[in-house]
Amino acid sequence: MSGKTMTEKRRVAVTGIGVISPVGIGLEAFWQGLLSPQPTGPRRAQDFDPKDYYEDAKAIRRADRFEQFAVAAAQQALEQSGALTVAKDRIGVLVGTGIGGAQTHEDQTLVLDKKGARRVSPFTVPMMMANAGSAAISMRHGFQGPCECLTTACATGTHAIGSAARWIQYGICDAVVAGGSEAAMTPIAISGFANMKALSATGISRPFDATRDGFVISEGGAVLVLEEWEEATRRGATILGEILGSASVADAHHITAPAPGGAGATRCMQRALDDANLEASAIAHINAHGTSTPLNDRAEAEGIAKMFGRPGPIVTSIKGVTGHSLGASGALEAASVLLAMHHALIPPTDGLEQFDPELPMIDVVQKDARPWTPGPSLSNSFGFGGHNGTVVLGPA
């Protein structure tokens, strides 16, 4: 730990990224997926094979799919980062999930109903508990710093990265494995979202489009390795980007609908800028939450326009391609921002054919990826319950 005072926030470097997504496993496949048209059919991580990340078949059977995603993404990120040189008790884990082991819960409920209580697996609770992903990463790698789990619906991944960065900024940890994981494409979850009219009836994700009719549910996970900047530099790590600031605020408005006029989104983005000590004019890009639901896209567009004017920074929503992976979405989107910086190219908002004329005109990338000069960028996430999260990322 450096000798900085608590009022002098330490810089936070990103030195590793791991991704499990419906459009690609690993960074290169994920990036190519972001530049491709959205897939048809269920947005599952079809190419994921847990045997690539587990040596023991029993361990696979005793881990819910969301935990497997977290473990796999963390392994990818740590391999890219290289050997961490700080003490194990200075390395934290903060990997969140919006729902947790939903498939395990549903499967074992059916076992209870059909076969009786004695046939319910003794591994049910550790498989379905929301902190299983963080715990598995900690135990696998021997990390003995703080090991926690956030659950703030669709804002989870963003909140986890922002909170993990604060652990480093204020000297609690020297490195943190942080992100989000979700595997909630289960019969009950899908039925629940469908019956509340949140899902697209057409199965097409159309962020900010005039004909958008709901989100397309997906699954996946993304993990970042965050390190104290000076330590990462000292050990010769390749720095992929920087966490400049973050914010978390509540709408205190409605269990599913965002606050009117994007009030919560506006406050969250402003506080994130304040935390990063940046003016609105410094922001070059916004990775929008952009779910393709009528109310969310309206609130976010209004919030962006209020904060940054029109047309404002370059905006994209990768949910056109990835769909909405709930608690994992913010982490996947932070990864996409870092990749956009690396490639100096912002992926398009797939599915956006006709920008909704009732929304304020913001500069959303359509059809083709757009070259840019990487600069400070926001990644937004807004979740059921009125949870708002924004993280500010900078190029390496």
Q: Which of 12, 199, 20 is nearest to 95 (CA)?
A: 20
Rounded CA gap, 210 and 308, in Å? 22
CB 66 within 8 A of CB 218: no
Catalogue the active-site residues: 154, 289, 324
Largest CA distance in the chain: 62
- Which of these, 15, 181, 157, 8, lies nearest to 86 by C-alpha position? 15
Three-class secondary structure assignment of the chain? CCCCCCCCCCCEEEEEEEEEECCEECHHHHHHHHCCCCCCCCECCCCCCHHHCCCCHHHHHCCCHHHHHHHHHHHHHHHHHCCCCCCHHHEEEEEECCCCCHHHHHHHHHHHHHHCHHHCCCCHHHHHCCCHHHHHHHHHHCCCCCEECCCCHHHHHHHHHHHHHHHHHCCCCCEEEEEEEECCCCHHHHHHHHHCCCECCCCCCCCCECCCCCECEECEEEEEEEEEHHHHHHCCCCCCEEEEEEEEEECCCCCCCCCHHHHHHHHHHHHHHHHHCCCHHHCCEEECCCCCCHHHHHHHHHHHHHHHCCCCCEEECCHHHHCECHHHHHHHHHHHHHHHHHHCEECCCCCCCCECCCCCCCEECCCCCEECCCCCEEEEEEECCCEEEEEEEECC
